[in-house]
C-alpha cells in the first residue's frame, strides 16, 4: 500500500495560521469575518470550498502506512487515568465493535486528520456517535433531545462530527445484524437529515436558529408513527427519562445512616470518598473540597448562585461512568436543601485536553472544564443551569480540571440495541438535525449549506466512508482483543 502522509494542520482546516496555541479562537474569528459578507457571498464561499475538497472525495478512507497503532493511542490515554480503572475501560470497549467505537474517539480523530475538509469550521462535539445523543430536562422543565456529551468539544472541521455520527450507525447496524442495504439506508437518512437541516437553518433568522430545539412532542411525532412497538419504546424512554432526577438518584445511590443519606459502597463502580482516602488525605479533604466548591460556585451565573447556595454539601463518592470516559476522575456530590427530601446530586467529571487538540490546536480556555462547559453552552439549545467548572490540586499534588452538572435531570436515551429496526432512520434524522443545529449556531450555516448543496452527492460519499471505516473499526477492535490475549494490556470484563 502506498504511503499516505498526514497533511499539516493548516491544510486540514484550510487556514494559513502559524502555531497552535490560539488556533481555535482564530478559527471562530474567521467565521465572524465571513458573517459580515452578504448571504450570496457566503454561499459563494461555500461553493468555492468544493474546489479544495470535492464532496465525492469524502468517500475514501485508506489507512496510512504510518498510521498510529490504535492500541498505543488507547495506552497513551490510559497513562493519564486511574490505573485501577483502565482495565474496566478496556473490558467495556471489548463488549462489541460498537462499544469499542464509542471508546475510540482519539483513534478516529487521528484518522480524520488525514481526510479532506472544506476549511469551514464550527464548534464541534468531537465525539458525535449515536449514543452521545439523548434526553434531558430543560430549565423550563420540558424534556428535550440533544447532544449530551461534550468531553471532546472544540472548534474544528464540521465534517468530522457528521462522519463520526454516520459511521456510528453503520457500526451499530452491523452489531445488530442489520442487512447491508438497511444499514446504508439508515446512514443515508442520517446524512440527508443533516444536509436538509443545514439548508433549513441557512434560511432562518439567526435568533431562530439559536432558539431551535427538539422537544418530547416532536420526538413522539418523529418516532411514534412508525408502528406500535416503536411507539411503546418511545413512550417508555420518555417516561423513564422524566423520572430520573435527584430524588431517584438519592434512592438508587444512597442509604440512610444515623438519619442522614450516605452514598452506598459498591466498588469499583461507586465508592464513597472516605474509603479511598488515606489518613493524611482525610485531613486535607475538607479544605480541598471547600476550595473546589468555591471555585465551582464562581463559574455559575449570579442568579444560579442563589439556587446553589440553598443547598448544603454532605459528601461525595467516585462513580465509574461511560465507556471512553472510564479511568478519568468522576465524582458524585450529595447536597441537601430544605431537608433530606430535598436533595441535589451533582456529577463532577475530570476534563482533559480534547482528542482533537493535537490535530487542530489547543483550546483558547486554559481550564479544560471550562472548555467543555463553554462548548456545551454553544452547541446545546438549552443547558443545565448548574453547569460549571473548577480547578483543583489533587491529593497526589497534580493539577486537575473538572466540569460539573446535575447527575440525573431527566437524563435518558434511546437504546439502539433494542430499538425496533423501523425506528432507526427517524432516530438517525433526529441526531443529525440537532447536530446540524449545533453547527449552525457557531459555524457559517449559509456557507456549509451551499457546500453541501441540494443533491445527495455528499450523502452518498459519507455513506461510502462509513462502510469502509466500519471495517477499519473492526480491525482495531480485533487489535485490542489481541493485545489483551497477549498480555500487553489487561481487561476486566462485565463490570
**Would you state the pLDDT for residue 323?**
84
Helix H or strand E encompassing 316: strand 312-319
Residues 72-83 pLDDT 10s: 999 999 998 888
Per-residue pLDDT of the chain (495 residues; tens, 9 = 90+): 333 434 333 333 333 333 344 455 565 566 666 678 899 999 999 999 999 999 999 999 999 999 999 999 999 999 988 888 999 999 999 999 999 999 999 999 999 999 999 999 999 999 999 999 988 888 888 888 999 999 999 999 999 999 999 999 999 999 999 999 999 999 999 999 999 999 999 999 999 999 999 888 777 776 666 667 777 777 777 777 777 778 888 999 999 999 899 999 999 999 999 888 877 677 777 888 899 999 999 999 999 999 999 999 999 999 988 887 887 889 999 999 999 889 999 999 999 999 999 999 999 999 999 999 999 999 998 889 999 999 998 877 789 999 999 998 777 788 888 888 888 999 999 999 999 999 999 999 999 999 999 999 999 999 999 999 999 999 999 999 999 999 999 999 998
**Would you state the pLDDT for residue 225?**
65
Whole-angstrom distance, CA of residue 283 vs CA of residue 186: 55
The full set of domain ranges for the chain reads 26-241+418-486, 246-406
| Strand order across the beta sheet in which 270-272 lies | 270-272, 312-319, 330-336, 343-351, 399-406, 388-393
How do strand 399-406 and strand 343-351 relate by DSSP bridges? Answer: antiparallel
Residues 187-202 pLDDT 10s: 999 999 999 999 999 9
Cα→Cα distances 126→116, 299, 371, 407, 485, Å: 17, 23, 12, 22, 31
Whole-angstrom distance, CA of residue 70 vs CA of residue 66: 12
CA angle, 261 as apex, 260 and 264 as ends, to 5°? 135
Whole-angstrom distance, CA of residue 436 vs CA of residue 193: 9
The three grid cell numbers given for residue 80, joined into one nine-digit string: 493519564
The three grid cell numbers given for residue 79, joined into one nine-digit string: 497513562
Q: Provide the whole-model pTM.
A: 0.90
Amino acid at each position: 500500500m502506498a504511503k499516505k502522509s498526514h497533511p499539516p494542520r493548516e491544510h486540514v482546516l484550510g487556514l494559513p495560521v502559524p502555531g497552535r496555541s490560539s488556533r481555535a479562537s482564530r478559527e471562530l474569528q474567521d467565521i465572524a469575518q465571513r458573517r459580515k459578507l452578504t448571504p450570496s457571498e457566503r454561499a459563494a464561499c461555500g461553493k468555492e470550498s468544493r474546489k479544495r475538497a470535492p464532496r465525492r472525495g469524502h468517500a475514501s478512507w485508506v489507512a496510512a502506512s504510518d498510521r498510529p497503532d490504535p492500541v498505543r493511542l488507547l495506552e497513551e490515554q490510559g497513562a493519564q487515568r486511574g490505573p485501577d480503572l483502565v482495565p474496566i475501560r478496556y473490558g467495556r470497549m471489548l463488549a462489541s465493535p460498537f462499544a469499542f467505537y464509542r471508546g475510540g474517539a482519539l483513534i478516529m480523530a487521528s484518522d480524520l486528520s488525514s481526510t479532506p475538509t472544506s476549511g469551514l469550521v464550527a464548534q464541534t462535539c468531537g465525539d458525535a456517535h449515536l449514543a452521545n445523543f439523548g434526553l434531558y430536562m430543560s430549565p423550563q422543565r420540558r424534556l428535550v433531545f440533544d447532544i449530551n456529551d461534550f468531553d471532546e468539544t472544540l472548534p474544528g472541521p464540521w465534517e468530522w462530527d457528521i462522519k463520526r455520527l454516520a459511521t456510528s450507525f453503520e457500526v451499530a447496524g452491523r452489531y445488530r445484524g442489520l442487512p447491508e442495504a438497511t444499514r446504508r439506508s439508515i446512514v443515508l437518512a442520517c446524512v440527508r437529515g443533516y444536509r436538509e437541516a443545514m439548508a433549513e437553518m441557512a434560511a432562518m433568522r439567526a435568533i431562530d436558529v439559536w432558539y431551535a430545539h427538539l422537544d418530547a412532542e416532536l420526538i413522539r411525532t418523529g418516532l411514534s408513527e412508525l408502528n406500535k412497538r416503536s411507539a411503546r419504546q418511545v413512550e417508555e424512554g420518555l417516561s423513564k427519562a422524566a423520572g430520573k432526577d435527584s430524588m431517584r438518584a438519592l434512592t438508587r445511590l444512597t442509604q440512610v445512616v444515623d438519619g442522614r443519606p450516605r452514598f452506598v459502597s459498591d466498588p469499583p463502580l461507586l465508592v464513597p470518598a472516605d474509603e479511598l482516602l488515606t489518613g493524611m488525605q482525610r485531613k486535607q479533604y475538607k479544605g480541598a473540597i471547600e476550595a473546589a466548591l468555591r471555585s465551582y460556585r464562581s463559574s455559575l451565573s449570579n442568579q444560579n448562585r442563589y439556587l446553589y447556595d440553598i443547598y448544603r454539601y454532605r459528601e461525595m463518592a467516585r462513580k465509574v461512568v461511560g465507556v471512553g470516559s472510564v479511568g478519568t476522575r468522576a465524582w458524585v456530590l450529595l447536597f441537601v436543601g430544605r431537608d433530606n427530601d430535598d436533595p441535589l446530586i451533582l456529577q463532577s467529571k475530570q476534563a482533559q485536553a480534547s482528542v482533537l487538540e493535537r490535530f487542530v490546536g489547543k483550546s483558547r480556555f486554559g481550564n479544560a472544564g471550562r472548555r467543555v462547559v463553554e462548548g456545551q453552552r454553544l452547541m446545546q439549545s438549552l443547558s443545565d443551569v448548574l453547569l460549571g467548572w473548577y480547578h483543583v490540586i489533587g491529593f497526589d499534588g497534580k493539577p486537575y480540571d473538572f466540569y460539573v452538572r446535575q447527575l440525573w435531570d431527566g437524563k435518558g436515551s434511546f437504546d439502539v440495541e433494542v430499538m425496533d429496526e423501523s425506528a432507526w432512520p427517524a432516530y438517525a434524522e433526529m441526531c443529525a438535525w440537532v447536530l446540524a443545529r449545533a453547527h449552525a449556531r457557531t459555524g457559517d450555516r449559509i456557507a456549509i449549506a451551499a457546500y453541501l448543496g441540494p443533491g445527495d452527492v455528499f450523502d452518498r460519499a459519507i455513506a461510502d466512508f462509513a462502510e469502509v471505516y466500519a471495517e477499519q473499526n473492526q480491525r482495531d477492535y480485533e487489535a485490542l482483543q489481541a493485545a489483551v490475549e497477549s498480555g500487553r494490556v489487561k481487561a476486566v470484563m462485565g463490570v
